[in-house]
Amino acid sequence: MTRFTVEPGCTLRGLLRVPGDKSISHRAIMLGALAEGRTEISGFLEGEDCLATLNALRAMGVDISGPEHGRVRIDGVGLQGLRAPVEPLYMGNAGTAMRLLAGILAGQSFDTVLTGDASLNRRPMRRIIEPLARMGARIEATPSGTAPLYIQGGQILTGIDYAMPMASAQVKSCLLLAGLYAHGRTCLVEPASSRDHTERMLASFDYAVHRDGPRVCLSGGGRLRAGEIQVPADISSAAFFLVGASIARNSELLLEQVGINPTRTGVISILRLMGADITLLNERLAGGELVADIRVRSAALHGIRIPEELVPLAIDEFPAVFIAAAGAEGETLLTGAEELRVKESDRIQVMADGLQTLGIEARPTHDGIWIRGGTLSGGEVDSHGDHRIAMAFAMASLRASDTLYIRDCANVNTSFPGFVERAHSVGLAIRQDL
Ligand code: S3P
C-alpha cells in the first residue's frame, strides 16, 4: 500500500506548474469524441481518472492518439457515431467520468454497463438516474442506487425542465449531455452556481447553450464542431500549494497558468478571508477559460466562518482548507457542505479523524466541521484512498512538530500524477514508499 512520509517544518519556494484541470480534461475527451472533425487538446491531465474517460471512448470506437506530454488528438465520430463496447466500461475512481458518460450513454442505440472501483461503486447515482429516467432513459442500478449502472439503449429521450436538488456540476453536465440527444429543450435550474466548464466548452464547440441566471438550457439535435482546447492547470491541484505556502514559514511560490474560472476560485476567496497573501498575475483568456499565474506567500492565517455561498465554488478544496484551518489562529466553521460526505471518501469524517490524530480539535457536524487551529503533532493518518485527503495531509507537515505518515496514497495518481516529485522540487521533504 503506497505511503507518504513527510518531514516537518519545510519551506516552499519556487515556480510550479501543476497538471491540467481534471474537469476540463474529461469534458474535452467527451465533446471531442462526439464532435465532427479533429480536436487537438493540449495540457490534458494524464491522470487515471481522465484516462478512464479516454479508454471508454476508445472502447466505443473513437480514434484517439496520445496522450503524449499532455497532447491528445481525437477524430470525432459525431453525436451518432459511437459503437457498442464489447465489455463493461470501467471508470476506476472517477465520479465525473461515470456521471457525465451516463448522460451520453442514455442517448445511444446500444446497451452499456458502467462500473468503477469500490469507492465509486458506493457513491450515489440516483441523482442522475432519476432525472435521466424523466427524460425517458432506462437505467438500472443496485438497490442502494449505486453502480454498476446498466444503461439500456434505443430509448427516445425528451427534454425536461428540472430543478436540481443540489449544486452539482456532474448532475448538470450529465443532463446537458443527455439533452444533446433529446427532443426539444432541456433546462436545468441550479440551487447555487457550480462549475460551468460543460457550458463553456459546448459553446466553444459551437453548440448553443442559453443561460438566464440560475437556469441553463440547450436544445437537442445540433452538432458539435471540433476545434482546439487548451487545458489550464488545475486550481484544485494548485490548492494544496496555496495552503502549503500560506502556512509554511518563509515561503513563496509562483503557480503558473492556473485556471481561475469564477466557478472554481472559492478556495482563493476562503484563504484570503483567512488572511492569505495570494496575488493573481497576468490574467488572460485561454480557450474560453480564464487563467492566471498565482503568487502565494507565507501569512498568519486566522479562523473564519466560511460563507455558505462559497461552498460549491470550493467543493473539492475543503481537505486543503481544513489544513489551513488547523494551522490558523482561532476557530473555523464550515456549514452547508453535506456533499463532502459523498465524495471519493466521507471527507468530513476522514479529515476530522486525521486532524484529531494530529492533536487538533476538530468536530464533524452533519453538514460541515468545526476546527480550532493549534499545534500539529506528527503521527500516522489514513487517507482512505482519497487523493485529495492524502495531498492535504502532506501539506499539514509544514506545521507539524514531527514526521507525518500518510497511508493509502496510490489514488493521488487519479488527479495529480507526479505530486511527490513536484512537491519535492519546491521544498517539501516527502517520499513515497510502496
Ligand atoms: C466535478 C464536479 C464536482 C466535483 C468533482 C468534479 C465536475 O462534483 O466535486 O470533483 O467535473 O463536474 P459534484 O458535481 O458531485 O459536486
**pLDDT at site 26:** 98
- DSSP symbol at 66: E
- DSSP symbol at 331: E
What is the distance in A from the centroid of ligand 1 to the CA of 169? 5
Low pLDDT (below 70) residues in the chain: none
Judging by beta carbons within 10 Å of its beta carbon (0-12, 13-18, 19+), is residue 134 exposed, middle or buried?
middle
* CB-CB contact of 43 with 231 (8 Å): yes
**pLDDT at site 185:** 98
Distance from first CA to last CA of the chain, Å, rounded? 6
Q: Cβ(339) to ligand 1 under 6 A? A: yes
342-392 pLDDT per residue, tens: 999 999 999 999 999 999 999 999 999 999 999 999 999 999 999 999 999
Instruction: Indicate which residue's Cα is closest to atom 15 of ligand 1.
Output: 168
Length of the chain, in residues: 434
Catalytic residue among 117, 234, 293, 316: 316
Sign of the Cα torsion 71, 74, 79, 81 reads negative
Q: Cβ(315) to ligand 1 under 6 A? A: yes
**pLDDT at site 385:** 97
Closest-CA residue to 392 (of 254, 222, 237)? 237
**Distance of alpha carbon 95 from alpha carbon 125, whole angstroms:** 9
Residue 368, classed as helix, strand or coil, is strand
**Distance of alpha carbon 35 from alpha carbon 339, whole angstroms:** 32
Over its C-alpha atoms, the chain yields an Rg (Å, rounded) of 21
Out of 170, 234, 346, 386, mutate this one to test ligand 1's pocket (max ligand atoms within 8 Å of CB): namely 170
What residues contact residue 152 under an 8 Å CB cut-off, 6+ apart?
111, 137, 138, 139, 140
**Distance of alpha carbon 32 from alpha carbon 27, whole angstroms:** 8
187-234 pLDDT per residue, tens: 999 999 999 999 999 999 999 999 999 999 999 999 999 999 999 999
* CB-CB contact of 262 with 21 (8 Å): no
316 is catalytic: yes
**pLDDT at site 286:** 85
**Distance of alpha carbon 348 from alpha carbon 335, whole angstroms:** 11
**Distance of alpha carbon 264 from alpha carbon 403, whole angstroms:** 32
Sheet containing 368-372, strands listed edge to edge, beginning at the edge strand earlier in sequence = 331-334, 368-372, 361-365
**Distance of alpha carbon 29 from alpha carbon 42, whole angstroms:** 11
Judging by beta carbons within 10 Å of its beta carbon (0-12, 13-18, 19+), is residue 379 exposed, middle or buried?
middle
**pLDDT at site 419:** 98
* CB-CB contact of 280 with 242 (8 Å): no
What is the distance in A from the centroid of ligand 1 to the CA of 45? 16
What is the distance in A from the centroid of ligand 1 to the CA of 293? 24
Out of 197, 199, 315, mutate this one to test ligand 1's pocket (max ligand atoms within 8 Å of CB): namely 315
Q: Does the global pTM surpass 0.85?
A: yes
Residue type for 154, please? Answer: G
Nearest ligand 1 atom, CA 198: 12
Instruction: Indicate which residue's Cα is closest to atom 13 of ligand 1.
Output: 168
- Helical (H) or strand (E) element with 306: none
What residues contact residue 51 under an 8 Å CB cut-off, 6+ apart?
67
* CB-CB contact of 62 with 430 (8 Å): no
Cell numbers found for residue 392? 492535504
**pLDDT at site 288:** 84
The bridge status of strand 63-68 relative to strand 13-16 is unpaired
What is the distance in A from the centroid of ligand 1 to the CA of 95? 8
Residue type for 105, please? Answer: L
